Structure 1
């Protein structure tokens, strides 16, 4: 029996693309089961990496590594996640959903189990890379399960939820990751991650997706492209992840990695550009609509990195994750509200307006944070962070739908779209964190130099501040010089804290500006397209009218 022979489907069952499941009718109970499994799988795909990302400082201490070394963990995830999207689509198309599902969940579980018995940075990086590969698969799998939960007339709503469930991972990780660290330090995180992987595996084995069409998809040249593109993305991810930590212009290896990334990615694109059946359709990716979509998503991901700035700001004030729990609950509520609002309002015609609305909401939230002081506490950020979480969740579904419509029209571009969407999401998030972190460091040095410039012992207020700072340890230090040095150190710490606060305010203003400029660009494009349609309509009506007159005249003759 030829497994690649086309199957006969009823009209409502036909898969949208090779490698995707068919869509038979389900009972209400079975639809609910598909929704629950889709949620579990999608959250599993994002929560493991989120748990690591929000606990990097604590993992650094647990693993006994330097700050630059711990940054390899998020870099390894992005390296594997982006690269695997090149092969996953064709793997699913050629070998089917069942093998696709079980193989990557088992791989993920085995890598996590191995890390529980090997304590070291190398094994942690291997687990992150394995999770990057399986995470790319689980995101798609969660979407497929969610699509089965909705009838055909609500398929767009299913897409919003299927893509959006993974957005819940980050606030969930911030809400309870501290308890996991208390349970068993870094092993607590990996035990929980292992439990999620096994739960997902049990769910997909108990409730299988309907079968789909299988086609012979792989070609030999695909692996050449992967061999060039994957190391190129890996080098680029390393530069973005570690550039701020080791600093961009002080480490020679960063420049070598960036040069290597440019050469390898350019070589991969050159190979693809000249292929008859490319894995990456460079002509399609450089199409005006697709390129603008990718740029807008990338800019929105930069705006979303404001959340990292908020965490850094609160940590600069001396707050820890336990004191921010209510803030993360508010963020979770905002994310859920954004997903629900997006699903309820989405239509193809509203997608540009939804993207602009999400940018306006995030710009408002970032601007509200830009007047923070050393008295700002998490309760002062509830409204702004709710708006940012709402806007971030509101845009993700319409973005995916707007690009996927072009894939339905040309199914051969599915791999290209998957890679483009993955790059703008995962690599875009890494880029946003790098830009925000770098800008914050630069502005902190600027404000620190101005503040310290005016600190002189000739100023009575400065002398009094140093004296009061030394008096706090007067009972422990009898030496006046030591007390004076302690006072100077306390004043320096206060100046550094204020410089950081001013720098984070600049970051929030910068993000507001990026959001507003992106909004203006999208609004200009939308108004231009509306004007073009309005101008074309009278011309079309005039031509139709002339044709009708001609027909009437010929009829009268």
Structure 2
């Protein structure tokens, strides 16, 4: 493909030397994306402490994550419009400053309602940082350096979901839960400083905001926010048995269809949905949703299993999850170097095979599975993920017209986040249903009419009596102990089923990548998509 396809207004020509200022600006953008993705799940391992302080129930507490996700997914498609209106440097500095303000207010929240409002505002200001990082790579680096930039961006997308619960649990245990919000000041201040020094000032074009397609924006906000609420809250409210969920399903459908209709009618939509008509972009964004399911799904299942079945503390869970992060730091530069030499479809297939295979390896856990057994699968997952994230970014951006780069980045990242929400909703529902199924099936064998069950009950009863408990109480405790074992085993089987689902979806996606054209990262001598 001609290198002109990759040329961006103001971007250096291929082979140009990049000064330290530009690299610092790009690195600052990566810090922002990492921080925004990290904050999606950083509250998960600290939720019990937060709910205790705010006197809220588990179900009410789910809105702490839902509010952040809703706002983040709404602002991602708006990023291209705000960048055109305010300029990339000014917009990044303003939105990061507001993100830090709302992060601080989250740490100082005095009630559940205030926490939900501040989390929503935090998501709205932080969501822009994700697509902006990808846009900076495409607009500030020459084609020969973009593989390195995309590798850095890929790390933010794969490391952050794994590290969110880990870092959250670690900080909560040492310094209390407000610290998970205050920690944002470290990367946030570095980001603002990096943008201030690394990027030139750009003129504002506020007319872009005045003449924007606000009807389309309203439809988009309604559709995406309603879809996120539908996915996040569906399992806890029994899906279509709830009028609340049915209402949001209709609102999501109405909003998204309205957004699509206005985008194709208006001459200058705020984000270009016609990009989905390009085959490479369509394949890349569809697989981006699948990867979102895999990334957020595996990060949802494993900490839950380790906390509930293995009885690990947040700090111990963090030590297991860390193995999904550390190897990526070494694999990503290798993947970046290979991406300019090898057909990216081969690399992506290899990554999906490792990622999906590691999930299938996790589908054979039992109640004694812990750190030692999980370390190997985590390392395999860590090796596979960079190959997928880097190559999908290359597929998404290959052949995109310069003016559409911000739109492409916004849609690609929005789709990945949506995929994460779909994955967690699917797995939460599967866990509930499969636990009930396995509990019923085990219960058929473990009945009071069974000789083996009676023998085990007698053994447990005698053991409790030997500890000084009266026979009637000992008998009840023996039945309760058997019931706990049945529930534990049925949950283990349900977690295994969850990993089967994720693994099979990821491996099934290998076929889809071959519908894309052959693409390589631009090398030092030029070239791009082929």
Q: Determine the structure 1 residue equivalent to 2:522.
A: none
Q: Determine the structure 2 residue equivalent to 1:329.
A: 322
Kindly state the Cα deviation for residue 472 of structure 1 after the two structures are TM-superposed: 5.6
User: Matched residues in 2 for 1:158 and 1:80: separation?
Assistant: 27
TM-score of the superposed pair, with normalisation by structure 1? 0.82
User: Matched residues in 2 for 1:493 and 1:61: separation?
Assistant: 26
Note the alpha carbon deviations across 1:484-516, whole angstroms, 9 max, x for none: 222111111110111111122222222222222
Note the alpha carbon deviations across 1:331-378, whole angstroms, 9 max, x for none: 112332342232121139622222211111112211211211122112
Q: Is the 8 A contact 2:349 2:510 kept in 1?
A: yes
Kindly state the Cα deviation for residue 255 of structure 1 after the two structures are TM-superposed: 0.7
The reply on whether 1:308 has 2:304 as its aligned counterpart is no
The reply on whether 1:156 has 2:147 as its aligned counterpart is yes
Kindly state the Cα deviation for residue 468 of structure 1 after the two structures are TM-superposed: 4.0
Change (3 A) 1:349 1:429: same
Kindly state the Cα deviation for residue 299 of structure 1 after the two structures are TM-superposed: 2.1
Q: Determine the structure 1 residue equivalent to 2:253.
A: 262
Q: Determine the structure 2 residue equivalent to 1:209.
A: 199
SS in 2 for 1:134: helix
Change (3 A) 1:28 1:423: closer
1:123 aligned residue (114, 118, 132): 114
Note the alpha carbon deviations across 1:450-493, whole angstroms, 9 max, x for none: 10112222333312333444456547874432222221111111
Q: RCO (CA 8 Å, sep 6+): is it higher in 1 or 2?
A: 2
Q: Is the 8 A contact 1:49 1:131 kept in 2?
A: no
TM-score of the superposed pair, with normalisation by structure 2? 0.86
More deviation, 78-87/262-271: 78-87
The answer for unaligned runs of 5 or more in structure 2 is: 519-530
Q: Determine the structure 2 residue equivalent to 1:64.
A: 55
Q: Determine the structure 2 residue equivalent to 1:487.
A: 478
User: Matched residues in 2 for 1:218 and 1:456: separation?
Assistant: 68
Q: Determine the structure 2 residue equivalent to 1:352.
A: 345
Note the alpha carbon deviations across 1:171-221, whole angstroms, 9 max, x for none: 33344433311344321212223444334334433x231356866644635
Q: Determine the structure 1 residue equivalent to 2:363.
A: 370
Q: Determine the structure 2 residue equivalent to 1:245.
A: 236
Change (3 A) 1:253 1:377: same
Change (3 A) 1:104 1:469: farther
User: Matched residues in 2 for 1:250 and 1:142: separation?
Assistant: 41
User: Matched residues in 1 for 2:249 and 2:388: separation?
Assistant: 31
Q: Is the 8 A contact 1:85 1:136 kept in 2?
A: yes
Equivalent residue pairs, number: 511
Kindly state the Cα deviation for residue 235 of structure 1 after the two structures are TM-superposed: 1.1
User: Matched residues in 2 for 1:31 and 1:230: separation?
Assistant: 33
SS in 2 for 1:278: coil
More deviation, 173-182/383-392: 173-182
SS in 1 for 2:449: coil
The reply on whether 1:182 has 2:168 as its aligned counterpart is no
More deviation, 328-337/146-155: 146-155
Q: Determine the structure 2 residue equivalent to 1:543.
A: none
Computed over aligned residues only, the root mean square deviation of the Cα atoms, in angstroms, reads: 3.1
Q: Is the 8 A contact 1:143 1:163 kept in 2?
A: no
Kindly state the Cα deviation for residue 47 of structure 1 after the two structures are TM-superposed: 2.6
User: Matched residues in 2 for 1:138 and 1:338: separation?
Assistant: 24
Note the alpha carbon deviations across 1:126-154, whole angstroms, 9 max, x for none: 23222322322323444466679966522
User: Matched residues in 1 for 2:20 and 2:193: separation?
Assistant: 18
Kindly state the Cα deviation for residue 65 of structure 1 after the two structures are TM-superposed: 1.8
Q: Determine the structure 2 residue equivalent to 1:95.
A: 86
The reply on whether 1:441 has 2:432 as its aligned counterpart is yes
Kindly state the Cα deviation for residue 42 of structure 1 after the two structures are TM-superposed: 3.4
Change (3 A) 1:33 1:173: same
Change (3 A) 1:280 1:199: closer
Kindly state the Cα deviation for residue 253 of structure 1 after the two structures are TM-superposed: 0.5
Kindly state the Cα deviation for residue 278 of structure 1 after the two structures are TM-superposed: 2.4
2:511 aligned residue (505, 513, 520): 520
Q: Determine the structure 2 residue equivalent to 1:423.
A: 414
More deviation, 155-164/476-485: 476-485
Higher-Rg member (1/2): 1
SS in 1 for 2:240: coil
Note the alpha carbon deviations across 1:203-260, whole angstroms, 9 max, x for none: 433x231356866644635211111210221111011111122221332200111111
Kindly state the Cα deviation for residue 421 of structure 1 after the two structures are TM-superposed: 1.2
Q: Is the 8 A contact 2:283 2:513 kept in 1?
A: no
Change (3 A) 1:222 1:323: same
Change (3 A) 1:92 1:63: same
The reply on whether 1:384 has 2:374 as its aligned counterpart is no
More deviation, 465-474/443-452: 465-474
